[in-house]
Amino acid sequence: MLFRSVTGPGSTISNNNNASGALTIGSTSTGSSNNTATIRNGGRVFNLGNNGSTLIRGFGGNILTVTDSNSLLTNALAGMTIGGNGNGLYVLNGAAAKANGASTVGGNSETNNWALVAGANSIWDLMGNSLRVGFTNGVGNSVTVSNGGAFLSGAVTVGNGPGASNNQYNVAGLGAVSYVTNNGLVTVGGSGGGFNTMTVTNATILSSGLTI
């Protein structure tokens, strides 16, 4: 599924194609960069099929932005993958992104990918599923929740595997308290990873435990 922008109340895309329901920004082809898609001002996108994941990948600058109150992205049966090198997800200004599946920011040998959730009532909800931020040889990947944003998930692993380094999980409230619920263990730097970090400032975090 491809689109450039879904804008305004009543603007909706719904895809229930089980065979090819993924929302994809960028590709693994050499030179795939600077592709963007935006859901804003109350626009809504629903991925309803079994393969209805969100894939953000490629070689830099491939970005999905969900912004403004009542704007919504929903993957009903699948997670989100933000990979490649230098690609990202923004959830801003009261928007919501929901994914019912295990999700990843920066996989094997993938670098400098990010997810940013910022602004009051902005929410990234993985519906109890796990999140991995950087694993084997993944470097510089990050998840940041700030300024009143919220993030809900299952277990979170930051920098897992040999060579995984400088991956970050940041929760900070600048002007408004950010809120995070991880319904599982938060692990920072597991299985040979190094220099991975978790930072919490002016925020509320609920989890089943923390291992560093």
Give the pLDDT band (50/70/90) at residue 19. Answer: low
Does position 168 have pLDDT exceeding 90, yes or no? yes
Does position 1 have pLDDT exceeding 70, yes or no? no
CA distance 153 to 102: 9
CA distance 59 to 111: 10
Cβ neighbours around 192 below 10 Å, total: 13
Does position 182 have pLDDT exceeding 90, yes or no? yes
Residue 63 to residues 48, 56, 66, 124, 129: CA-CA distances in angstroms? 21, 7, 10, 16, 22
Give the pLDDT score at 21: 67
Residue 23 phi, psi dihedral angles, 5° rounding = -90, 115
Cβ neighbours around 100 below 10 Å, total: 19
The mean pLDDT value of the chain amounts to 92
- The pair of structure tokens assigned to 153 is 């998930």
Give pLDDT tens digits for 65-116: 999 999 999 999 999 999 999 999 999 999 999 999 999 999 999 999 999 9
Does position 159 have pLDDT exceeding 90, yes or no? yes
Give the pLDDT score at 6: 94
How far is Cα of residue 132 from the mean position of the Cα atoms in its chain? 10
User: What residues contact residue 20 under an 8 Å CB cut-off, 6+ apart?
Assistant: 1, 51
Give pLDDT tens digits for 102-140: 999 999 999 999 999 999 999 999 999 999 999 999 999
Give the pLDDT score at 20: 61
Give the pLDDT score at 91: 98
Give pLDDT tens digits for 21-55: 688 999 877 778 999 999 999 999 999 877 778 99
Give the pLDDT score at 49: 77
Provide the sign of the torsion angle of the four alpha carbons 100, 103, 105, 106, taken in this order. Answer: negative
Tell me the whole-structure pTM to 2 decimals: 0.95
Average pLDDT over residues 185-196: 90
How far is Cα of residue 182 from the mean position of the Cα atoms in its chain? 14
